Amino acid sequence: MYWTKFVQRAELEGGRTFVHGTSRLNLTAGDIAAFVEPRDAGLAFGFRALDAGDPFEKSFPVWMATLRRRQGHDAIVESLQRVFTQLADEGSLVRVLVELYRHAHALGFARLYLAPGLFQEPLLAPALKKVTEAVGRPVELVATTGLVSLVLGPLTAAE
């Protein structure tokens, strides 16, 4: 089972630590100012349970991703990193990417870009294929910048 959580300022212990079960994730003041406090940004954590029947409380954070306004009506995911590397899998990444898509759509953005550096993650390409199927939108490549984007719109019935 997979979950995604967008961190809110009120949830940070001591104003800078996100606590989930036995995990404590310390955030920098810069990350909080750039991705937690602005209304048009997001700091997302992707979680994975070890056993299919485990509830969210027993899950582990496996991904962290940032979302911010790129320009105009466009959003960009600039960073994606593994938290518990051994537990990260394609399914958990698909969930995070779909939720980033939903979050950007809910914020009123027209397009969601993925920075070229994200493709260093070997699970991104296969996960992105499943994301496009889930959201019913093709991936578009901007050849001059290397940015990959998804036009935001309603999700398909499959999601």
Q: Residue 40 pLDDT more than 50?
A: yes
Mean pLDDT of 133-145: 88
Reading the block at residue 67, the tokens are 């979302």
User: According to the model, what pLDDT value does residue 82 have?
Assistant: 96
User: According to the model, what pLDDT value does residue 79 have?
Assistant: 95
Q: What is the pLDDT of residues 46-86, one digit of tens each?
A: 999 998 889 898 899 999 999 999 988 999 999 999 999 99
Mean pLDDT of 17-41: 91
The answer to whether residues 15 and 27 touch, using CB atoms and an 8 Å cutoff, is no
**CA dist., res. 132 & res. 62, Å (int):** 21
What SS3 state is found at 122?
Answer: coil
Q: Confidence class of residue 41 from pLDDT cuts 50, 70 and 90? A: very high
User: According to the model, what pLDDT value does residue 154 have?
Assistant: 60
In order of start, what are the domains of the chain with their CATH numbers? 2-151 (3.40.630)
**CA dist., res. 45 & res. 104, Å (int):** 15
